[in-house]
């Protein structure tokens, strides 16, 4: 799908805030606008969670989920899900990430999350990079979760959903500390891997996990992965 309209600096004023892109698109008949983001891209355990959100009324306090305290994310999550026009969430398990690769899983997850939205769309804004194969025109936004309200909302929905899942995983595998680090490669997590080896919810294609399995080749999935 080709891009029908790319909001330019002259269209989106600097003081227009997080809702500037959505308003500019809506003025040109390209609404509703969905924002898409993921959580868990850089983790070496647990799922990748992708969310797509079409906001209803404005939600005060939206920002990149990583910059917010956990309690603030939870509060915003409740407000987003209660007032949004549509929300779609996709959970991609570690085995699928190992089989398909991280980036392919991410792209496919974004397509699937958009497909789960229960409303007609005019445009999609994705965080970080373009996503081919979407049903409407789209644009990849650099640091989209910091500059676009619907992308920020998607980042919060994805992260809260994933964090809750990692806390549940901690109950099944308490020795790894998933409730604390949420599956990212912290020092404590690496030490647990060295001591106990990986569990079934680790991503075996990731280098941090592969190094904990004697005789295994180092994985390549972590290259370019960011913490989200």
- SS3 string of 54-89? ECCCCCCCCCCHHHCCHHHHHHHHHHHHHHCCEEEE
pLDDT of the residue at 38: 97
pLDDT of the residue at 48: 98
Describe the crossing of helices 70-83 and 149-172 by its angle, rounded to 10 degrees: 120
Greatest C-alpha distance within the chain: 58
- Look at the domain 15-162 and name its fold: Nucleotidyltransferase; domain 5 (3.30.420)
Give the residue extent of every domain in the chain.
15-162, 170-210
Of 180, 184, 205, the C-alpha closest to 46 is: 184
Tell the burial category of 57 from Cβ atoms under 10 Å away from its Cβ (0-12, 13-18, 19+). exposed
Span between the terminal Cα atoms of the chain, in Å: 27
pLDDT of the residue at 64: 83
Judge whether 208 and 176 are in contact, CB under 8 Å.
no
As a whole number, the mean pLDDT across the chain is: 89
Residue with tokens 């409740």: 78
Cα separation, 175 vs 42, in Å, equals: 21
pTM tops 0.85: yes
Cα separation, 27 vs 12, in Å, equals: 11
pLDDT of the residue at 10: 39
pLDDT of the residue at 16: 54
pLDDT of the residue at 180: 97
The HSE-up count of residue 139 (CA atoms within 13 Å, CB side) is: 19
Tens digit of pLDDT at every position of the chain (228 positions): 434 445 544 344 433 589 999 999 999 999 999 999 999 999 999 999 999 999 998 999 998 888 999 999 999 999 999 999 999 999 999 999 999 999 999 999 999 999 999 999 999 999 999 999 999 999 999 999 999 999 999 999 999 999 999 999 999 999 999 999 999 999 999 999 999 999 999 999 999 999 887 544 334 444 334 445
């Amino acid at each position: 799908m080709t891009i029908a309209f790319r909001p330019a600096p002259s269209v989106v004023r600097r003081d227009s805030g997080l809702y500037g892109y959505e308003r500019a698109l809506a003025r040109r008949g390209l609404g509703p606008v969905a924002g898409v983001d993921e959580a868990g891209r850089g983790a070496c355990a647990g799922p990748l969670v992708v969310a797509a959100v079409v906001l209803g009324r404005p939600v005060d306090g939206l920002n990149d989920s990583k910059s917010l305290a956990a309690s603030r994310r939870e509060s915003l999550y409740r407000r987003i899900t209660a007032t949004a026009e549509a929300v779609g969430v996709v959970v991609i398990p570690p085995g699928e990430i190992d089989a398909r690769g991280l980036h392919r899983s991410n792209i496919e997850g974004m397509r699937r999350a958009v497909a789960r939205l229960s409303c007609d769309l005019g445009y999609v804004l994705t965080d970080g990079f373009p996503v081919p194969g979407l049903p409407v025109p789209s644009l990849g936004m650099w640091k989209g979760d910091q500059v676009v309200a619907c992308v920020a909302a998607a980042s919060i929905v994805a992260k809260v959903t994933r964090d809750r899942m990692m806390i549940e995983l901690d109950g099944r595998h308490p020795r790894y500390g998933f409730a604390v680090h949420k599956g990212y490669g912290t020092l404590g997590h690496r030490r647990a891997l060295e001591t106990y080896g990986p569990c079934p919810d680790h991503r075996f294609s990731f280098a941090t996990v592969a190094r904990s399995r004697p005789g295994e080749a180092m994985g390549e999935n972590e290259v370019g992965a960011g913490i989200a």
